Amino acid sequence: MGQVINGKEIAINIKEEIKSYVLKRSEDGKNIPKIASILVGNDGGSIYYMNNQEKVARSLGLLFNKIVLESNIKEEELIDLIEELNKDNEVQGIILQVPMPKHINENRVINAICPNKDIDCLTTESQGRLYMGVEGFLPCTPNSVITLLRSLNVNLEGKEVVVLGRSNVVGKPVAQLLLNENATVTICHSRTKNLKEVCKRADILVVAIGRPKFVDDSYVKDGAIVIDVGTSSVEGKITGDVDFEKVINKAAFVTPVPGGVGALTTTLLLKNVCEALKKNED
């Protein structure tokens, strides 16, 4: 029987660090980190995510400006708003909830965000910094994966890692972060041949494909570490891409869903805004 990697416990420690940092700034009469989070329209998932961001941010003493816009807003108006926030010295982090309405060029709007305030690492420049190894914000979900692995005191150097999924949001950036740790990384996708055999080579298997309970014990090597990034709604419950009940009997460590990667993501986003403030003051 493997062990569960508890993302909530790890998040608690990081939250305490953030809370102490914000409290000290408040006592010293200094600016408090502030986030501006923008939602266009009424996408249910985005509303849930934004409300959760606000709840956690305020619980740690951070300032949070929730900006909700009508779905028919013009693209230029949205860009103008972002440019105003870029110039606002009181705002250190800008989050743009996606997806956006179809009439808006999502890529163009995202790239209007100043990279120094792009705490979600969505702009082309931020992602370029990541792949070029230049200092910048780390994307929160991939960084959650690395943070969970570090909590196990695992030396990633030379480890064979398989990343199942090649999205720009998780698969590719998490592969890059693992390469930065000198792991040997294979990215698998829908066209990969002999998928099970490739996955079973992995010392560490990271799954991010959006297919509930797709990975069972037949994909996992004995004693492997399995990180489940999936979040799908199945019969009203958040479900991962890994069949947890089957895999826990074969793997050494497995992340649950919920309570694993997702439990850390918002916390690391808030840590990024604190880092942004520190950099602005240097």
Residue 251 CB contacts under 8 Å (≥ 6 apart), including other chains: 2, 220, 223, 224, 225, 226
Can you tell me the distance from the alpha carbon of 109 to that of 54, in angstroms, rounded to the nearest whole number? 22
Report if pTM > 0.85: yes
Spell out, as residue ranges, where the chain has pLDDT lower than 70.
282
* 165 labelled ligand-binding: yes
Phi then psi for residue 39, to 5 deg, are: -120, 125
Query: What is the average pLDDT score of the chain?
Result: 95
Distance, first Cα to last Cα, the chain: 48
pLDDT of residue 163: 98
Does residue 66 contact residue 37 with C-beta atoms inside 8 Å? yes
pLDDT of residue 256: 96
List of domains in the chain: 30-116 (3.40.50.10860), 140-262 (3.40.50.720)
* 218 labelled ligand-binding: no
Does residue 229 contact residue 206 with C-beta atoms inside 8 Å? yes
* pLDDT tens track for 233-271: 888 888 999 999 999 999 999 999 999 999 999 999 999
* pLDDT tens track for 175-205: 999 999 999 999 999 999 999 999 999 999 9
Locate all alpha helices (DSSP H) within 28-170, ordered by sequence: 44-59, 75-87, 106-110, 124-132, 140-151
